[in-house]
Amino acid sequence: MWSMIPLSVLDLSPIKQGSDAASALRDSLDLARHVEALGFGRYWLAEHHNMPGIASAATAVAIAYVAGGTSTIRVGAGGIMLPNHSPLVIAEQFGTLASLYPGRIDLGIGRAPGTDQRTALALRRTLEGNIDNFPQDVQELLAYLRPAVPGQPVRAIPGEGTNVPVWILGSSHYGAQLAAALGLPYAFASHFAPDDLDFAVQLYRRDFRPSPYLDKPYVMLGLNVFAADTDEEAQLLFTSLQQAFVNLRTGRPGPLPPPLPGYAQTLEPRIADLLSSVLRCAIVGGPAKIAEGLGSFIATHKPDEIMVTAQIFDHAARRKSYDILSKVYPPAGT
């Protein structure tokens, strides 16, 4: 049996076909309450823009809604795309959240836009230098969250002295290098971009420098888990994510589609190969298969924490998926 490690949840607050953002956010709060009761450690929401199937664009607002409706689970961003914002604004937003919900707020940050280039331009008004300045922006953000120093001309109020835990998010070795250099925890997006997983984690652990934030490396890995009573039912639930991913990659993003029986048989080989590659960090099946897959994933990659995500169309089935997972592998909080 594997040694127990913490489990957390990443929620994209999916807007389903035939539904709307309000329903998606209500479902997010309900799921957060559910996994809190099951003992999961964190509940993170992600920043995406111009995505018809994702309701968490105003990520800090969504976090406030979820944190206000729960009591113990940590709530955070997985993540905030820092080049879209000034570090001061993010420090103020998350300083406010930390003031309202002390000890429960996390701030994961990434350098991707979380959208297409045209929308990124609409967000930022300029694309010049934003990504290249990411390391400096991260350090500026960290400084705003520390206690202010005498004579500091610009202060984050609220924000200063809150020391909100900051994570570096990534899907390549770039984020691994930065997290290692700054001594920050690192979350890798293996749930949709697993190609650099092994190299990035190895690089992060090798080059990690202890810091006031962390004395040793800490890696959290994203993992798709679709659990149901049977393997066949879980595979059917999984087709919603498969369809959504194909729609996104072919320039047709939309609301999360319902499961489609026989979907895999409709795919041309090129698309089938794409899905098997980008979604290979996915465990799909009944309880026995979930247990086997999770044990293999932990043994292979040795994460310090796993962040589970499940883009399941039916909300009751999504809740049940986490029920099954928690029985197969009780979260550390139980």
Question: What is the CATH number for 81?
Answer: 3.20.20.30
Residue 255, token pair as written in the block: 């609301």
CA 111 vs CA 12, 57, 175, 177: distances in Å: 18, 16, 8, 13
Judge whether 29 lies within some domain. yes
Pinpoint the alpha helices (H) of the chain.
21-38, 59-68, 87-100, 117-124, 134-145, 173-182, 197-207, 231-249, 269-278, 287-301, 315-328
CA 48 to chain centre: 11
Judge whether 294 lies within some domain. yes
Judge whether 334 lies within some domain. no
| Total number of domains in the chain | 1
Cα distance between residue 217 and residue 288, in whole Å: 31
Q: Which helix (H) or strand (E) holds 282?
A: strand 282-285
Beta bridge partners of 108: 78, 167
* Proportion of the chain above pLDDT 70, given as a percent: 93
Asked whether the predicted pLDDT for residue 334 surpasses 70, the reply is no
Judge whether 333 lies within some domain. no
Angle ∠(257,253,55) on CA atoms, nearest 5 = 75
Asked whether the predicted pLDDT for residue 76 surpasses 50, the reply is yes
* Proportion of the chain above pLDDT 90, given as a percent: 85
Q: Are 207 and 181 in contact (CB under 8 A)?
A: yes
Judge whether 78 lies within some domain. yes
Give the structural domain span for 61.
Answer: 7-328
Beta bridge partners of 38: none
Per-residue pLDDT band at 118 (split at 50, 70, 90): confident
Judge whether 174 lies within some domain. yes
* pLDDT tens readout for residues 17-72: 999 999 999 999 999 999 999 999 999 999 998 889 999 999 999 999 999 999 99
Judge whether 1 lies within some domain. no
Judge whether 143 lies within some domain. yes
Residue 327, token pair as written in the block: 């029985």
Residue 177, token pair as written in the block: 């290098």
